[in-house]
Amino acid sequence: MSDITRQFRYRTDENGKEVVEIAIRGKQVLDRPMTNFSTAYSLETRQALGLTGLLPPAVTTLPIQLKRLYTQLQRLPNDLDKHVFLMQLHDRNEIAFHALVAEHLDELMPIIYTPTIGEAITQFSSWFTVPRGVFLSIDEPDQIEAAMSSTNQGPDDIDLVVVTDSEGILGIGDQGVGGVRITIGKLAVYTAAAGIHPLRVLPVVLDVGTDNLELLNDPGYLGVRHARVRGERYDEFVDQFVKTTHKLFPKAMLHWEDFGASNAHALLNRYRDEVCSFNDDIQGTAAIVVAAVLAGIKGSGQRLKNQRIVVHGAGTAGIGIVDLLKDVMMQQGLSEEEANARFYCLGSRGLIREGMKMRDFQEPYARPADEIEDWDLTEPGRATLKDVVSNVHPTILIGTSGRPGSFTEDIVREMAAHVDRPIILPLSNPTTLHEAVPSDLIQWTDGRAMIATGSPFKPVQHNGAEFRIAQANNALVFPGIGLGVIACRASRVTDHMIAAAAQAVADMTEINAAGDALLPSMDAMRTVSATVAVAVAKAAADEGVAEPLENPLQDIWAQMWQPVYPRVEAVTNQYTPKGKNKDTAK
Ligand SMILES: NC(=O)c1ccc[n+]([C@@H]2O[C@H](COP(=O)([O-])OP(=O)(O)OC[C@H]3O[C@@H](n4cnc5c(N)ncnc54)[C@H](O)[C@@H]3O)[C@@H](O)[C@H]2O)c1
Ligand SMILES: O=C(O)C[C@H](O)C(=O)O
Ligand SMILES: [Mg+2]
């Protein structure tokens, strides 16, 4: 790696200010998203970088550019067009992109991320323009190292790798190569919410084929054109990817996103003790949902260990949530057996019971086979959600099924008839897949339900009160987990660190009046991330997977990158990646 020529380098000067040294000249400067500051370049810098004549004469500032960009954005007719516009800005002027998102966080999160990103992913091959991310093909496993190295990054240059194999994108399933966009979206959220430096990250798609026939039959499809490879060849490919990533970027946290349920659990278990590895759908979702649950329970004066919890959709996210809730219950004094008994998990064949076919990660939660003997079932031999709710009287109902509308009026009214403050969490994304919408839930429970949803919803008015709807999306917590891990260079991500993240978010919320939300709002993401990061770094030190930070708040705050143009130095030297500093060179 040592003789790679660099074109520019971001570093911090003696006053802690960011500087970019630029060795390229002319049009090349404007062609790179991290060196193109466009009309904001001063006349001297334009001269020094050979930009004279390549830009209109006026010198502007980032705020003026943002005003112009925001006006252009607002003229666009729909969210997908806005998403594409923002992604093009991302590829043209990355700092302006991040600054625009930061300035309009609440409004633009749903555009760059869930739910709009779901639509963008399904249409990836038709709106593809500029490639971003690393594409690894199962048909060329010997190219993994070359592909991962083609970004010219040295061993100290990458803090975070987000990877997907696209089998379980949101609730929309197998999206083939288009899944690369979820890794880019997640990384944009890491930067917006936790100030992770945009040059110190790598989005990766493992293209192992697709079982999506629509994609396979589309002549314009840009991915590997065959069915999904499974089994040994898949495992070897993933293993090769993990080993290569760890070899090239030994300090990076590996974030797994939107794998199918079986692989998600298996890969987390395989790698969690080998590398610094985090599954967002399992652990990130669990952390944010447990935070919402803890806040709700505190608000209604209850104890977690006394709850009856029904989980509709016992897959990656659902069982991840259950596992973490169980850990917290055990910390509160329940035995494992007692804790397991608090959960009722449903899959596509209804309530999961002993003797049924199930996945290994569901086994601890299988209900006794004879439990439903006395139940008056809607369909013989299968306990549906309706049956479970009317027999169990749950206090908490969680939806991670991707089945829209499955929390029906009947079911919700039945649940609310037996609990004072039902906690109802329809978490499936994107918006169209929610198990119920907040306005219905509030109406059906006459304002008693405590709600959080996976995608954003507008506040709901009821009986003169405004209900702000908490968004229980892992985006509120994974950026802080990543920031904490990076700040203390944790070697592993442990369950204790995830539980600490959940508790930190729960502690930020007070539920006093009807309408109070279960979680902080998305526009408080930077504060939430910093708070989570401090808790995660502390838990990492307690667990012995990192050294304690000397001054946690200051260290973490200082780590957070701000989207402003750095001072420019036109240089002539060529860079080589350094092994030992935190500079970011390309
Ligand atoms: N809010 C968040 O932060 C968040 C995070 C992760 C996932 N999710 C959402 O949760 C949903 C599921 O994601 P996942 O990654 O866990 O997928 P998954 O495929 O791993 O799990 C879905 C589960 O639902 C079950 N299911 C299917 N049909 C059902 C039915 N009719 N009744 C009951 N269960 C049924 C499946 O058996 C499977 O176990 C998606 O819509 C995803 O967007 C939300
Ligand atoms: O991506 C999201 O919006 C949350 C979650 O990771 C999901 O898969 O739905
Ligand atoms: Mg996901």
Interval between CA 407 and ligand 1 midpoint (Å): 14
**pLDDT given for residue 513 in this prediction:** 85
* pLDDT digits 0-9 by tens, 386-432: 999 999 999 999 999 999 999 999 999 999 999 999 999 999 999 99
Q: Could you tell me if the CB of 509 is within 6 A of ligand 2?
A: no
- Looking at the DSSP bridge assignments, the partners of residue 535 are none
Cα–chain center distance at 233? 27
**pLDDT given for residue 584 in this prediction:** 61
Burial letters 436-474, b for 16+ CB under 10 A, else e: bbbbbbbebbebbbbbbbbbbbeebebeeeebbbbbbbb
Last residue of a domain, one of 409, 442, 473: 473
**pLDDT given for residue 512 in this prediction:** 87
Cα–chain center distance at 253? 14
For the chain, give the longest Cα–Cα distance: 83
Whether residues 82 and 231 fall in one domain: yes
Interval between CA 367 and ligand 3 midpoint (Å): 28
Flag the least confident range among 5-9, 410-414, 532-536: 5-9
Task: Give the domain extent around 143.
Answer: 61-275
What's the pLDDT band for 381 if we cut at 50, 70, 90?
Answer: confident
Q: Are 460 and 442 in contact (CB under 8 A)?
A: yes
Whether residues 218 and 359 fall in one domain: no
For the record, the structure tokens of 140 come out as 């060329």
**pLDDT given for residue 304 in this prediction:** 95
Last residue of a domain, one of 224, 248, 275: 275
User: What's the order of all strands across the beta sheet hosting 8-12?
Assistant: 567-570, 18-22, 8-12, 584-585
* pLDDT digits 0-9 by tens, 173-225: 999 999 999 999 999 999 999 999 999 999 999 999 999 999 999 999 999 99
CA 492/CA 500 separation, integer angstroms: 14
Establish if 345 belongs to a structural domain. yes
Phi, psi angles (nearest 5°) of residue 397: -125, 120
Whether residues 271 and 351 fall in one domain: no
CA distance readout (Å), 230 to 215, 274, 479: 18, 22, 31
CA distance readout (Å), 331 to 81, 299, 325, 573: 48, 20, 10, 57
The closest ligand to the CA of 321 turns out to be 1
Q: What angle do CA 561, 566, 568 make, to 5 degrees?
A: 150
- Looking at the DSSP bridge assignments, the partners of residue 134 are 204
Establish if 271 belongs to a structural domain. yes
**Which residue has the least CA distance to atom 3 on ligand 2?**
114
CATH number at residue 428: 3.40.50.720
Q: Could you tell me if the CB of 114 is within 6 A of ligand 2?
A: yes
**Which residue has the least CA distance to atom 9 on ligand 2?**
170
The closest ligand to the CA of 257 turns out to be 3
* pLDDT digits 0-9 by tens, 80-92: 999 999 999 999 9
Average pLDDT, the chain: 95
Whether residues 204 and 333 fall in one domain: no
**pLDDT given for residue 5 in this prediction:** 54
* pLDDT digits 0-9 by tens, 81-132: 999 999 999 999 999 999 999 999 999 999 999 999 999 999 999 989 889 9
Establish if 205 belongs to a structural domain. yes
Last residue of a domain, one of 473, 501, 532: 473
Q: Could you tell me if the CB of 455 is within 6 A of ligand 1?
A: no
Whether residues 313 and 420 fall in one domain: yes
**pLDDT given for residue 582 in this prediction:** 46
Establish if 9 belongs to a structural domain. no
Share of the chain above pLDDT 70, in %: 97
CA distance readout (Å), 48 to 19, 22, 43: 15, 10, 9
Residues in the chain: 586
Whether residues 288 and 250 fall in one domain: no
Q: Which of 172, 258, 316 to mutate to test the pocket of ligand 1 (most atoms within 8 A of CB)?
A: 316
**pLDDT given for residue 549 in this prediction:** 98
Interface predicted TM-score (ipTM) of this complex, two decimals = 0.98
Whether residues 428 and 464 fall in one domain: yes
Q: Which residues contact 196 (CB under 8 A, 6 or more apart)?
A: 159, 160, 187, 190, 479, 482, 483, 486, 561
Q: Could you tell me if the CB of 121 is within 6 A of ligand 1?
A: no
